[in-house]
């Protein structure tokens, strides 16, 4: 429940800041909650709070806390990559930023290391052009037997080339709609929400799949939340209204994980009205 609340708080911060640049009581409450979570929660939930604080202009508090985390957990596989990802974003000093980024590069290049998936996803989130920086490593990662890693590699390899981005976006759309592995479909939908940039035809495909899905389908919420986040400027407003109604109609019957996905939609791309998610 705490992670769901945390993401909801981020939605409030983003949406309220769009409406009114002057700090409001809800904004102060949201920031206080994030800082409380940063100080008292553990590892990945702490990391979510840190990133949300960075993205809303409060990098210093996140930097201070995660320099402590690096001292405590800087040798711990997987989580250390998350620490470095946060430090890259929070650091003001370019040399120190590069130091943390190089650690992530090293984890990415270690083909037999324990951090491969986390490093690939993290570098994709930071929009690092790994296909240009490390072409051989990236080529091997794209054909990995680990399909989760492979899918994150498709995302990571998109940066640095507009053509690659377009080709990979189409591939991720195909996986989100047709893959036989539900986890791969979910990851692909998540990546599409992060990349955005769907054209009208692509958006129509993902939205049609979302509207055709039954609410018992395990991909139901993932597809529905992808529609509003990836909507192009000329998206069908009637379809967007349908999606909005489906997301809000049964929101209290969804699992915590599903409500977390729903809360991320207005955090990524929302208005004051969609904060009710």
Same domain, 104 and 23: no
Q: Is there a single domain that holds both residue 93 and residue 180? A: yes
Q: Render pLDDT for 105-122 as a digit per residue (tens, 0 to 9).
A: 999 999 999 999 999 999
Residues 7, 133, single domain; the answer is no
Distances (CA, A) of 119 to 82, 135, 263: 8, 15, 25
The string of pLDDT tens digits covering residues 26-78 is 788 888 889 999 999 999 999 999 999 999 999 999 999 999 999 999 999 99
DSSP the chain: -HHHHHHHHHHHHHHHHHH-SS--HHHHHHHHHHHHHHHHS-HHHHHHHHHHHHHTT-HHHHHHHHHHHHHHHTTSTTHHHHHHHHHHHH---HHHHHHHHHHHHHHHH-TTSTTHHHHHHHHHHTT--HHHHSHHHHHHHTT-S-HHHHHHHHHHTTTT-HHHHHHHHHHHHHHHHH-S-HHHHHHHHHHHHHH----HHHHHHHHHHHHHS-TTSTTHHHHHHHHHHH--TT--HHHHHHHHHHHHHTGGGS-HHHHHHHHHHHHHH--TGGGG-
**Cβ-contact 2, 41 below 8 angstroms:** yes
Q: What pLDDT shows up at residue 36?
A: 92
pLDDT at 9: 44
Same domain, 139 and 265: yes
Quote the CA–CA distance of 153 and 124 in Å, as a whole number: 8
Contacts of 237 (CB under 8 A, 6+ apart): none
Number of other CB atoms surrounding residue 245 within 10 Å: 10
The neighbour count for residue 235, using CB atoms within 10 Å, is 18
The residue segments making up the domain with residue 49 are 1-58
- Considering the domain architecture, whether residues 70 and 3 belong to the same structural domain is answered as no
Query: pTM of the full predicted structure?
Result: 0.86
8 Å CB contact between 138 and 157: yes
Distance (Å, whole) CA 238 – CA 233: 13
Would you state the pLDDT for residue 270? 55
Compute CA 207 distance to the chain's CA centroid, rounded to the nearest angstrom.
Answer: 19
Q: Are residues 31 and 96 in the same domain?
A: no
Question: What CATH number is given to the structural domain containing 167?
Answer: 1.25.10
Number of structural domains, the chain?
2
The pLDDT of residue 254:
73
Same-domain pairing of 27 and 90:
no
Q: Write out residues in the chain with pLDDT < 70, as ranges.
A: 1-24, 264-277
48 & 130 share domain:
no
């Amino acid at each position: 429940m705490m992670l769901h609340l945390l993401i909801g708080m981020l939605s409030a911060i983003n949406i309220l800041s769009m409406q009114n640049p002057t700090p409001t009581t809800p904004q102060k409450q949201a920031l206080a909650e994030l800082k409380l979570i940063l100080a008292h929660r553990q590892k990945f939930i702490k990391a979510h709070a840190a990133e949300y604080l960075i993205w809303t202009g409060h990098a210093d508090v996140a930097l201070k806390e995660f320099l402590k985390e690096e001292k405590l957990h800087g040798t711990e596989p997987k989580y250390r990559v998350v620490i470095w990802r946060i430090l890259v974003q929070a650091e003001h000093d370019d040399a120190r930023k590069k130091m943390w980024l190089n650690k992530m590069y090293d984890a990415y290049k270690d083909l037999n290391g324990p951090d491969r998936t986390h490093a690939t996803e993290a570098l994709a989130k930071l929009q690092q052009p790994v296909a240009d920086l490390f072409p051989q490593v990236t080529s091997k990662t794209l054909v990995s037997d680990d399909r989760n890693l492979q899918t994150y590699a498709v995302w990571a390899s998109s940066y640095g080339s507009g053509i690659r981005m377009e080709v990979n976006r189409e591939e991720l759309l195909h996986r989100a709609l047709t893959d036989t592995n539900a986890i791969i479909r979910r990851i692909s939908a998540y990546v599409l929400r992060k990349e955005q940039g769907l054209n009208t035809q692509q958006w129509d495909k993902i939205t049609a799949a979302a509207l055709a899905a039954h609410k018992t389908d395990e991909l139901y919420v993932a597809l529905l939340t992808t529609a509003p986040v990836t909507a192009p400027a000329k998206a069908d407003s009637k379809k967007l209204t349908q999606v909005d109604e489906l997301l809000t109609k049964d929101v209290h019957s969804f699992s915590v994980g599903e409500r977390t996905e729903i809360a991320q939609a207005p955090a990524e791309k929302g208005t004051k009205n969609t904060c009710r998610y």
